[in-house]
Structure 1
Amino acid sequence: MNTHLHVLEPYTNLCRIWNDEMLKTAQRRMIDIFTDRILDKKTNHLGLFFDEEWNVKSTAISYGHDIEASWLLFEAAEVLGDRRVLEEVKKVSLDIADAASEGLEADGSMIYEKDRDHTDKERHWWVQAEAIVGFMYAYRNSGDISCKEKAARIWNYIRNQIVDAEHGEWHWSRLPDGSVNHKDDKAGFWKCPYHNGRMCMEMIEHFNIR
């Protein structure tokens, strides 16, 4: 799923600047893979791993990937410019965002993931960043003020718990007990300003928030 998600995103950005029918066909196919293969239509969560025949090989639910996919899918359909596809994906996007809300905690944050007999309540930096964008897209597409309120509460959590006000950048995460994760990088192979930087640019461009 994650591999396909990060192929979908560059296809979307290439579509912005290159009006090519082969590219548009590839983008439609990628969207269809998400809606027809990766999305569990019963739960509106995304499967994480599959075999060569698209049989699901994982039972885990990744709330961060769900909420990230909700807006990246809508953006992909919006840039594609096919009205029929956009209307279908708009509903799917809202359904995925709603399902991802299951991962929200009382403090406003979003936990990492859940499996059959284990819930990982670590609050990863990237999950919080994607949740803000995802819920703001849901607010724009539904008019449901509760989506905007979810985004605002997550931003409040980020400012108070994830941003390192003393040394800069964002911590990797808060552990389930609320302590700062000092073991993982603040900048490294899996941690850079990608998610939080993109969040800021999305908020400025689409929601006029500076």
Structure 2
Amino acid sequence: MADLLTPALLPTTSWLRLPAHHAWLGAEGLELLNFSKNSKMPAGFGPLDLEGNLPNDAEPDGILTARMTHAYALAALQGIPGTEPMVEHGVRALLGPLRDHEHDGWLEAPSAPHGRKQAYYHAFVALAGSSAVRLGVEGGRELLEGSTAILERQFWSEDEGVMRESFAFDWSDEEDYRGANSNMHSTESCLALSDVTGDRKWLNRAQRIVTRFVHEIAARHGHTMPEHFDRQWHLLRDYNIDRPTDELRPFGMTPGHFMEWSHLTLKLEAALLRADGIAPDWMLRDAHGLFESGLKYGWAADGQPGILYTIDWDRRPKVPARAHWVQAEAITAAVNLLKRTGHRGYEKWYRTIWNYVDNVLIDRKKGSWFNEVGPNGTPTETVYPGKGDLYHAYQSTIAPLLPLAPSLASAILSSDAL
């Protein structure tokens, strides 16, 4: 069993059974895809401002380029015109100006050849490569093989069962840090790599990462996810206390990541069930616990709707901005739990969060979603400026209609739901 397998097994009143909801998801996905084409630059993709334009000083962003390449590959696999050329463009950029041809690995921007090499970024490059291979675009195999070689040689720590965090541009000076965020996205990448390469070691690595972070760390902390550790696995409670709005490593804890870990745990469980017929019984329990903690400490924690960005160690609101990606990941977590269990409570939250996105985050004047809003729904740029890229929002429009396993690109190829 991978999940309930088909929305047809859910009650007839479930949104997942309703053709109008399917049409709404498809239409919203197309809006996101079309809007994001403005981010194309000669050497990759760049960040858009609130108007949906590239700022005058914009430059290609490697992380964004990898994520856009992956998202457009998902769209191209669905047969959406105009998206495959965007994938080809992204692959060329990642193999060209965004690749470090001297030291290997990837540059976060062509103008930053001496920037640090981050596991977070390289996980997305591997994800983009796996999706490009599924699509069959030129250069996809080279991108996949190059990125997996880097993950193997530089980032994977066999002794710890996690990804190392970062290195200097020449692969010296390993950072004294172990982070939940980079390992969370590495889990997603490992699941996709397992599907595309057929190599079981990637599934095993996803299981080792999730076991440490979800079943050991989060479970010990009441199904909340501490994010910052040193290389000896001491919790860094004051990490970035002076930078609470950091966009990747904020102080405290991030309820949106509770949600993201929740649905990735379910996807891992489904992948193990498909492969072996068995999976650890804690996976569903821990996925449920993380989702419930995300709601308890994140949703309307300051009296206003939406899931806020961060909480402190007393689990009180810290940064109240409502980031778009947080709501998108909560949608995916709710719908994956719904498909896994059929419980009507998850249907309620799936609807509630989509209603919030539709009424508050979707920008019907300029397009796409606001990257973040304040508690009262007014667009802000406290943490995330401009408009977000496709990655989180677009996946939230297609995940509801796909099984929990295999990973999204592989599921699209084997599904008639999209």
Tell me which interval the TM-score lies in, with the shorter structure as reference length.
0.7 to 0.9
Task: Provide the residue aligned with 1:73 in structure 2.
Answer: 265
Equivalent residue number for residue 85 of structure 1: 279
Provide the aligned length of Structure 1 versus Structure 2: 207
- Given candidates 370, 385, 391, the residue that maps to 1:185 is 385
Q: In 1, distance between residues paired with 2:232 and 2:381?
A: 40
The TM-score, its normalising length taken from structure 1, stands at 0.86
**Offset at residue 46 of structure 1 (A):** 0.8
Residues 131 and 96 (structure 1 numbering): CA distance in 2 closer, same or farther, change over 3 Å? same
Q: Which has the larger radius of gyration?
A: 2
Using CA pairs below 8 Å that are at least 6 residues apart, which structure has the higher relative contact order?
A: 2
> Partners of 1:63 and 1:25 in 2: how far apart?
26
Change (3 A) 1:121 1:82: farther
Q: Could you tell me which amino acid in structure 1 is paired with residue 290 of structure 2?
A: I
* Distance apart, 1:42 and its partner CA: 4.0
Residue of structure 2 in register with 1:160 after alignment: 359
Q: Deviations over 1:43-90 (max 9, x none)?
A: 101111111122221372211000011001211232233444353212
Read off the aligned partner of 2:299 and give its amino acid letter.
Answer: L
- Paired position in structure 2 for 1:22: 201
CA contact (8 A) 2:218 2:226 kept: yes
Pick from 159, 173, 186 the counterpart of residue 372 of structure 2.
173
Distance across 1 between alignment mates of 2:287 and 2:187? 15
TM normalised by structure 2 equals 0.46
What's the offset of the Cα at 1:204? 2.8
Deviation at 1:97, TM superposition (A): 0.9
Q: Percentage identity across aligned positions?
A: 21
Alpha-carbon separation, structure 2, partners of 1:104 and 1:203? 21
Q: Give the Cα separation in 2 of the matches to 1:195 and 1:156.
A: 17
Is 1:44 matched with 2:243? Answer: no
SS of equivalent to 2:398: helix
Residue 101 (structure 1) aligned to one of 295, 301, 313 = 295
**Residues 1:143 and 2:143 aligned together:** no
- For residues 43 and 158 of structure 1, the distance between their equivalents in structure 2, rounded to whole angstroms, comes to 28
TM superposition shift of 1:121: 2.0
Compute the RMSD of aligned alpha carbons. 2.5
Q: CA deviation at 1:202?
A: 0.4
5+ residue gaps, structure 1, are none
Q: Pick from 156, 178, 188 the counterpart of residue 9 of structure 1.
A: 188
Corresponding residue for residue 112 of structure 1? 309
Amino acid at match of 2:199: D
What runs of 5+ residues in structure 2 fail to find an aligned partner? 1-179, 239-251, 405-415
151-160 vs 81-90, which deviates more?
81-90
Instruction: Check conservation: 2:228, 2:236, Cα contact below 8 A.
Output: yes
Kindly indicate whether the alpha-carbon contact (under 8 Å) linking 1:126 and 1:195 is maintained by their aligned counterparts in 2.
yes
Offset of residue 131 of structure 1 = 0.6
Which residue of structure 1 aligns with residue 81 of structure 2?
none
